Structure 1
Amino acid sequence: MDNLLRLLIIDDNLNDAEMMVSTLKSAGLAVRPERAEDEEDLLAKLKQHPPDVIVCTLGHPSLSLEKVIQASRQMGRHAPVVAVATNPDTDVVECLESGAHDMVRKGHLDHLRLVITRALTFQQQWRSLKSLESSLRETERRCKMLLDNARDAIAYVHEGMHLYANPAYLGLFGFADIEEIEGIPIMDMVVREDQQKLKECLRQHDHSQTEDVPADTTTQTQELQLKSISGESFSADMEFSSAIVDGEPCIQILIRSEAGGNTRELEKKLNYLSQRDLITGLYNRQYFLECLQKSLGQATQGKSNATLIELAVDQFSNIRELVGVAGADLVLSDLGKLLEEACGQSDIVARLEGQAYGILSQHWEMQDILQFTRDLLSRISEHICEVEGRSISITASIGAVQIDENAPDIDELLSRSHKACEEAAASGGNRTIIYQPKEGEMTQKQLDETWSRRIHEAMKGNRLILLFQPLISLHGEAGERYEVFMRLLNEGGEAISPSHFMPSAERTDLARQLDQWVIEQALVTLAARRKAGHDTVFFIKITGGTLHDPGMVPWIAERLKEHRIPAECVVFQIKVATVIAHLKQARDLVKSLKSIHCQFVLDDFGVGINPFQILQHIPVDYLKVDASYTRNLVKSHEDQEVLKHLTNTGHTQGKMIIAQQVEDAATLSVLWGLGVNFIQGNFLQAPSGALEYDFSSMG
């Protein structure tokens, strides 16, 4: 019923409340009124029934406008609040600033009727929007899941370029990842003799043609001779049909599978495995995020609330040092079983990453969350993990965030639970922090906007600086090598690390501008250094922002020519995680930079099941191993073995190995024995504004 109005009235005068209801009923609204007399009554009614509109008469003896709005938010409700002023001098602006939807003077019933009718329409449209958003997300999720799990090879092509390809399509042509095929013309995957046939099929289904030659809306089948990435050719029937993806017209290509037999059971097993974490057996991060998205949709429609919980093992690095990587995995597996047993059947438990777990719980009220998480922490602290004869006891920290009608998007929810978990760990661990927005605290979007402004101001005010840290050869290679670091100075002259502002810069496209600033300033310094007779090489970091700028490599080439710097004296550095997230763009960038004779470093290398697999796509010169391998290298024989394997394998592939964050002489000695080529860390010299390290001291 579109005219149904669930009305919650705050008015100590029963007659006035009845008059409001009567006026609204006479306007044709099916009013379901409730009246709250005090704060306890208000919270109870908000909990029992989500109101469509709240009417709050100002001057109530125990319920102010601010208290009513706060209570509504506290109970996870999103209902417009209409203020009714009893004093003719009441300022409507103050009411609106307090969060009211509108204000009406007492006794102006016709005005009240119009305002409440408008507020009801607003609430219905808001709920409809949330419902549609949730339905769209679910539909997109289901469509993608169907495509990803289809046996048939399916791809979408726009103007001859691949937009999407499912795993079956990728496997058919020998690609490992969607990043590898994005941007590759479909024409390159057909033998030359059949390319004209393909062109004709694409032309018939091209929506971009002129109106007098409409695109064919039927499905067309054409037998073509195709070729894989390895150059092997094979014959297949390709079906072409018109489609729309993300609002853009494109062409769907389907190659039906010839696999016979009943594969339903195999698909079921594969689907199960795709949802599971290999170490703990719990749900994985991807599946958990899908469940979180569904729960968010339910909450924002006022159907059911939930709580997002992030749980992280306290002092996990100490556990890893004590029992090694394999032993630490056993601890994580034990904890996973414990969490699964402790949580209810309706709760979703997953391993997010590292020592962090996620729980999507139906406990929502503050006291229920606290009781549930306290019991959970108690069970964890009482549990003993047996690892190769050692008895390991652990504690954990928990961050929780309530999901209700007012919940933000999924990224902000994850950010809030992570902040709360970090706060719990920082305050000693073995405790729960329920996220409560602090006055003046910013959302991720607001934080990004603030950092964007601060970065622009720093660039205009010359408050960006470069620091340099030497990379030292352990085996006598000649020359000076420095890594270039950037710092932002605040108004007081204090240096701020990029770890504070670069995530925001990545999200707001400022990272590319910062990369350009660093490169330009570094090349100016390097030119002066080499002109003074020093054989200096700079290692310069680049971020994901640079990967999507096709003009970056030509710009770098021009800067090198302008400053008269040999390209081999500039080594660009990028993190493995960034490469994996943007594999095709990273591959293209690295190949382009190497074509002008620049060199490349893969940073944070060595983590994962098969870290060398990425080198099949990225032709780098140096591998900078992840800092976790050097932090406890002297005591950890396991880390020494892993680092030895990384070094030896890297050398066989012609790569130079760099160890970072070297903090003592003992670690340096072990690295020398393992055959590592270069070392870097504060033990040698902390990042400095001066290029004054004595490289001859290591000779």
Structure 2
Amino acid sequence: MHSKTATLLLITTQSSEAERLVATLREDGLASKSVSIPNAERLGETITQRGCDIIICFSDERDLNLDEVLTAYRKSTADIPLILVTDGENHAGLTAKARRSGARDLVERGDSERLKLAVRREFSDLVKRREAQALNDRLKDCEQRSLEIIEVTSAGVAFIQDGLHIETNPAYPRLFGFESQEEVLATPFLDLIDAGSQKRVRDILRPSDASSTSPAELDLTCKRTDGSLFEAHLLAAPAEYEDEPCLRLILKANVPQPIAQTGSNAAHATGNELGLISFLAEIETHIGQDRNVERPFAIFYIRIKKSVDLLRDLGLTHALELFEEFAKTLDALVADKGFLARLGDDGFGLLVDGLGEFEAKALAEKITSNARLPNQRRQNGDATADCEIGYFLVSDRAAAAEDIVNAAHRLCIGHDFTDRDHVPGQQPPTSLAARVKQEDEDGDVTIARKIEYALRNDQLKLVYQPIISLMGDSQENYSVLIRLLDEEENLLEAKDFIGPAIRGGLIEEVDKWAIRSAIRTIGEQRKAGHNLSLFLNLSEDTFRNPSIVLWICDCLREFDVRGNWLTFQFQEELVVGNLASIGKLVDTLKKIKCRVAINRFGVSERPELILQGLSLDYVLLKPSFAQSLADDAQKQQRLLQLATLAKEFNVKSIVTGVEDARALTVLWTAGVDYVQGNFLQRPSPSLEVQA
């Protein structure tokens, strides 16, 4: 699936010019990310590594060698359009040279409308070319897979032209008793058919029928080389072999009756992809429009153990036969329990309504004990389970259906299931909110009452901490924090009441109050001439609400505020378990021009996967990176890696929790874009940076 906006590769020696151009294209929804290089030296490498869509070269810059750029572009094999930005004097003279080098358009500097049209046109054409190439690749891949399957299938497969064999798979000669493929290729097809069946076979082999697009089927009697006969089922269909028209014959001897699929659990027989689609659809039937779970349910992910080893040791066909037998056993075992679907060659999803933790664990243990591979594969007395299970209970407000399935899958693959007494459930939970809700603390009721009082009486307060640029950015960026003033006029910090707010189901109301108040503040400050931008956190309960973006739009309209003055933050810890939900929300926020950031970045083992999966503007590194930074070489190295990684994805880096001047020197050297911390300025109700 192609992105709806282009990733730009800018060849320029002036970064400020590049940033202005990207901002202009982003405003019109034409670009999402950009990469800048000063010359043609790393052109090919950058194209390969960064997945760029359009190259824009500022050809009129004095320090840029255009001939080198055009030479490097001609050598590149990537299908990426090149647009040259020129000055008015050299525009006409460059046209012929640019066209010879493959440039798609020339745009005069300052003609932003022409540039937008060029980018829109070239990206649209590029997407169509890529889609056509993808279809062509899929066709070739399907043809190759067909040939691979033909080689290993137990059915006899042959390609026939004018009644003669031109190619067969290994099983075909064996059906007739030939010792080699060469022998059967020298034998006309009709010589292998009993006289009583030859007339019907001739009708299939006629050239007029060969041009038909519909397959033909018939039962017939065939002859082996020793003169014995056998009954077979023939399927003939038009095909091509080495670009020549022919007939493809599939011949199966002694075909057994197909096993009927019964009940709703037949979904796993319709293909893995269809099984996944039907399973996700079934999940959605339990969830209302506001993502509230109307019918609580449990999701089980069941996987055949050591399936990779079985495929390697037994071979594809025999291993898949074992998997099919396991599927039948599992279907019989849980047919009356819930909705079963096959999600992969070795994986199955099961949805069961109304289970609690005890019932879910009992069902998982029953499946683990009784869902077995065929008995002949196990040694006598072997009680080792043949499958492993992860299950996840869903209630309250739900994430995207994909995230729910992923949660059960992660629980399945993240545990050792040798001990059947240890069947994983919700430990550990897959989201931050779930973890917090399991840790109710004394005093929660009191704090929840204070929160409710503050919401009713406008006793919540916003405070702001500046995010200061190390690169000379003139934007006034502030992180928005919340304070609570209780009935006794005591001021509580967020850490004192956010946990109880989550556990008490009040966090979404707190978030909405903060968002609306922050948007109102932006509107007031912008009218006063301040170039203000605010960073706001979104909790898990809030971003799971599908109507939250519409609510944000209402607030923007109410206070006449633009979306790009707001940056919404998600904790990295939340992103890992809610990637599908957050991915959809990020795309929607981008449509209203809002910016997106990941907070407490650097927690996961592979943060680059988050940068690849989401279109981000900023990452805020967790505060611990800045603590004692000047004296910790290992921490400095890790911070440098993360800052460099962010730059590779054209994402700005922000280090929070800065505590001393020595850390600033390290951060500046590492190329960090922004810093935030109490050393620079403590959170304040004022929006003025203190000297």
What is the TM-score when the length of structure 1 is the normalising length?
0.41
